[in-house]
Amino acid sequence: MLVVGAGRVRIAAVSAHFGRDVEQCLAKIEGIVADARAQDVRLLVFPDATIGGYLGDLGRGDDTGLPPALDAGSPELARVAAAAGDMVVCVGYRESAGGRHHNSAVCVTGDGVLGRHRKVHQPVGELPAYAAGDAFTAFDTPVGRMGMLIDYDKTFPEAARTLAGRGAQLVACLSAWPASLTNRAPRLVQDRQSRLFDLYDCARAAENQVVWVSANQTGTMGRLRFLGQSKVVGPGGDVLARTWAKAGLALAELDVPAEVSRARLVLDHLRELKPEAYA
């Protein structure tokens, strides 16, 4: 698919809760897509585990059960693509493939699948539910060349750097990122995981001089309390739009190629890498 040329586009990251009821999740996706379309959004990024929800715990017994598993050609994903139409939409789900399950994301329009990602970096508590992915892939879309990460992936600078090195100017990071389980703060905004979530979003955007679109779950699932804090970050690390702990849409309008070019005009981090010194 050809990439649209320069011009301002509206980009949005979703903060919302998605649980085990797949039909309810799909209806919510369709409603949010319709609202975004009314605001002329061209790229809409949903949280991790958009269809069927995330786990209810990490590292202990989980009485919420596992999210339902969908294969790559499932009617549920086809329904999301149909709702997307000419909009680029990224959603997360538990993928069933080759006898294994992955924490996966797919990027679609009404024309079909543009890109896929399987979460590579996993906290220990995910291991019984998901197998790790092994690649970071950039792909072309109507809003520009982009890549996807799934929550813990963004903790590792190499993940975003790989996508940027492969030409991605946009990175969609889909998360189900919870507050700390071991040192809970009375308010989410004071939680150490809240601070890290924002820090990684801004640092990865600035390091790679890309537009970063970070979507996160809200509400609770089992013992996990999700942070929200969805945002769009510019290639200088500046937050252009954000939500807080409640459901909402972080929406920003910008010319992606122009913003990336401006950020790299004097200091181009990718061009100035010294890989021989890092060995």
Q: How far does CA 187 lie from the centroid of its chain?
A: 24
pTM (2 decimals)? 0.96
Q: What pLDDT, on the 0 to 100 scale, is given for residue 61?
A: 59
Q: Coil, helix or strand for 18? A: coil
CATH of the domain at 23: 3.60.110.10
Q: How far does CA 184 lie from the centroid of its chain?
A: 24
Q: What pLDDT, on the 0 to 100 scale, is given for residue 3?
A: 42
Inside any domain, residue 3: no
Reported in sequence order, the residue ranges of the chain that DSSP labels E, i.e. its strands, are: 9-16, 41-45, 69-70, 88-97, 100-109, 112-118, 138-141, 144-150, 170-175, 211-217, 220-221, 224-225, 231-233, 239-242, 248-254
Q: What pLDDT, on the 0 to 100 scale, is given for residue 200?
A: 98
Inside any domain, residue 4: no
- Domain assignment of residue 204, given as a range: 9-272
Neighbouring residues of 222: CB distance < 8 A, sequence distance ≥ 6: 55, 56, 57, 62, 63, 64
pLDDT of 203 higher than 80: yes
Mean of the per-residue pLDDT values for the chain?
A: 95
Inside any domain, residue 1: no
pLDDT per residue over 28-74, tens digit each?
999 999 999 999 999 999 999 999 999 999 876 578 899 999 999 99
pLDDT per residue over 150-196, tens digit each?
999 999 999 999 999 999 999 999 999 999 988 888 888 889 999 99
On whether the CB atoms of residues 81 and 182 are closer than 8 A, the answer is no
Inside any domain, residue 202: yes
On whether the CB atoms of residues 33 and 89 are closer than 8 A, the answer is yes
Inside any domain, residue 159: yes
Q: How many CB atoms lie within 10 A of CB 18?
A: 31
On whether the CB atoms of residues 52 and 18 are closer than 8 A, the answer is yes
Inside any domain, residue 156: yes
Q: What pLDDT, on the 0 to 100 scale, is given for residue 30?
A: 98
Q: How many CB atoms lie within 10 A of CB 184?
A: 14
Number of domains in the chain: 1
Inside any domain, residue 152: yes
Inside any domain, residue 278: no
pLDDT of 1 higher than 60: no
